[in-house]
Structure 1
Amino acid sequence: MTQPPDDFILRAITPVTHDLGGFKVARTLPSKPHTMVGPFIFFDQMGPARLPTGEGIDVRPHPHINLATVTYLFAGAIDHRDSLGTLATIEPGAVNLMTAGHGIVHSERSPQSERSRGPELSGIQTWLALPEADEERDPAFEHVGRDALPTLDFGGAKARVIMGALWGASAPTTTYAHTIYADILLDPESAVPIDAGADERAVYLALGEASIDGLKMAPQTLYILAPGHAATLRSASGGRVMLCGGEAFSTPRHVWWNFVSSSRERINQAKEDWKAQAFPKVPGDDQEFIPIPEVVRTRSD
């Protein structure tokens, strides 16, 4: 983690990189001491990568509780299966929202059609903490196609609203707390305004080059913006920036492996339930699973 580089940046979080064999994941949240930005409690960039012909990503079935996962791709495709019986293929520009609630199991694998030509993989996966009243809600899955997400033209730059309302446009994606999330594609010599409407906001340079209010952004770094500060994103040569944030949570959330909750006891129960295989199975992908790890890399405390 770096020190704040300017007075309108509260913190700049540099990623921890994990090599998953064939592709890398850059993780900026959770981070100590900054666990959340609005409801966002996990922020991963996958790739960009191209895997060898015949291979693919194979994330075996694993559990979640008390959160929602949001998957958004720049390139490639992923088959999502879950314990609700869902089978959905996500492609660039669409969004998969999986609400874990009291417990869900899912897997993520490259489609066979992608494996045959050597899969591309590039995108962002985030987790959203749920408000306490929604933590134990029934699990759900929602796929929103790219054509259903509003795209705004800023004259050389385009922004797709993934969740919430931004620049006068609203995405149809379900939210449980006030949430903003957008994919901003900057052409050379273009700019996009970032307003001050949310309690907490961050910008992240996923690809290319960009600056915010004259500060050159480092790649794969999450910049937490000061509350109330309206800013401008610019790019001289072209870049891709994610904007995320929303309402500040009044109670802390705990993260341990794939579990997020306001209660440590609830996470401990989920650990025991997964060890006992008490979670539901994933139809069509029930022969494998990821066991509880001995060493946990994703945790908040």
Structure 2
Amino acid sequence: VHPAVTGSLVLDAHGFNQPAWLPRGWRARHNLKEAYAEFSPLPNLLLDPFGTRVSRVVARSMPGRRVGVANMRDAQSDRVYSSVFPLPSSLHPLQALRVFFAAALGYSLHDLVPNYGLVNVGEFLQPKRLVEADQQAMNGPIDLVVDWEALTWDVAQRQQCRALLAMTDLRVAYLDTSASTPAAKRLRLHWSQISTANYVLTGLNATAWLAAALGRPGVCLCPEGKAVAEGVVSTRWAPNKMINIDQSPFNQPQVAAQSIIRILDRQRIHLLNNKV
């Protein structure tokens, strides 16, 4: 149990799976209301990382803001929540919980030094120092984060995109593409860069889902014909969205790079006008 947990509720899962008009179904819901009455004051935030039928019933009956994990198969069931965070299925369940809580509560995993048996503390601290040093070397916030890992471009196309970006004064961070680095470790390593970047260019991978969960703007280049069915979904509250693209010529390096350059140029002009 997390050290911050000060209490618990014992729920009748079988009762919640029955209609409210049946005795056991009614009793389960009545017991939940009585348990809520013991809270003083009632919490103003409920986090549901499970998304089961029972947890959704509990969330629906709780006042205040309700946050859950997006159900990619049944979007209608997400209506019980005030906002949802999509999480990639490739993450280890424990790492997915950590990403969910950090995104929902607005803190960075780099502020923590967890040791839950997945990696040792030394392995975690070293990437953190590298990220901090990398940010200092960038001398300011990052304009664009590029993750080559899941892009469908070949080496020549990647070089073409990189050459176009190099012709500008944009601050671009290229994420580690080592195949030996697990997805969960890559998220920890690049969390601060993704969460603060003005724009993100990536393929359909954990980076895209994290950027969408954090409300970062960007482009997710999906395999052809997969944007609608498998593309990332940004949270409803996010002012910025990830755009899924899977059709030519929009998914080609030259068009993608030039479009991103124009978007970031407009952002700069807008910021300058606001300062004036």
> With structure 1 as the length reference, what TM-score do the two structures score?
0.27
Identify the structure with the greater strand proportion. Answer: 1
Identify the structure with the greater helix proportion. Answer: 2
> With structure 2 as the length reference, what TM-score do the two structures score?
0.29
